[in-house]
Amino acid sequence: MISEVFAPAKINLTLHVTGQRGDGYHLLDSLVAFADVGDRLTFTPADALSLKVTGPFGDGVPEDARNLVWQAAELAELSAHITLEKNLPHGAGIGGGSSDAAAVLRHAGSCGAAASLGADVPVCLTPQVQRMQGIGDLLTPLPALPPVWAVLVNPKVHVPTPDVFKALTQKTHPPMSTHIPAFVDVAGLINWLSDMRNDLEPPALACAPQVADVLNAVAACPDVALARMSGSGATCFGLCHTSRAAQDAATTLRVAHPAWWVQPCRLS
């Protein structure tokens, strides 16, 4: 029987870097949400593991043990033919590879060793709004977000995560507020978020100056209430009060920047 699993884009609505461990990994405090856009995996039972990558961002994605999907399948001792439809840009700060790996582990019912595949994989196992702390391993589920929409924008520049963390000069920043309120409406959410940050924006801008162009273009859309980078970039998001506003922002950005990846979505 063929099963299909959705691997949503992970969006860091905030990303505070609060310190660094002796082994080099950074301590984070992040509000993580998920989009209704993402990659799709199908699993067909087979005698041996195999992987085929398709989709608009499939070109050049490895179909062997270099792919996190393959590594997750081996970890879960899953024997299947897997098709991965890559709809999300990779190396983009929206957890593409991590979400794909988490989808494999969810499908196999084998989530225990997720962190061994990458710091972002555990949060992607439960694609709902969470507070992520530690190096990504301390997860607290949060009440569902009020209805909120976004436009995701990537300038098709690949920004390696280790380079961004290396370019971070100041390693210790204040955490988010101790208590994250239960947001009753999108205005309250955006108001609270506007006092928070992504501490990786300055180093990402140093690595990829195009991120500034994206942030400026997103912020300039009339219906975007807050523009910020996700993860280590280069994808940025603009938050909107309505689905219509996110679609209008996407249309404006696609016309002005036809080479960019622009995707309206709903977050949860």
Catalytic site residues?
A: 10, 120
What is the binding site for ligand C5P (CB under 6 A)?
Answer: 25-26, 28, 118-120, 135-136, 161-162, 165
Distance CA 217, CA 213 (A): 6
Which residues does residue 239 pair with via DSSP β-bridges, in sequence order? 150, 226
> CB neighbours (10 Å) of residue 261?
20
> Which is closer to ligand C5P, CB of 69 or CB of 225?
69
CB of residue 234 to ligand C5P, shortest distance in Å: 15
Q: How far is CA 231 from the centre of its chain?
A: 6
> Which is closer to ligand C5P, CB of 197 or CB of 241?
197
CB of residue 78 to ligand C5P, shortest distance in Å: 21
CB of residue 175 to ligand C5P, shortest distance in Å: 14
> Tokens standing for 54?
């398709």
> Tokens standing for 138?
């301390």
CB of residue 193 to ligand C5P, shortest distance in Å: 21
> Which is closer to ligand C5P, CB of 5 or CB of 135?
135
**Residue nearest to ligand C5P according to CB distances in the complex:** 118
> Which is closer to ligand C5P, CB of 119 or CB of 180?
119
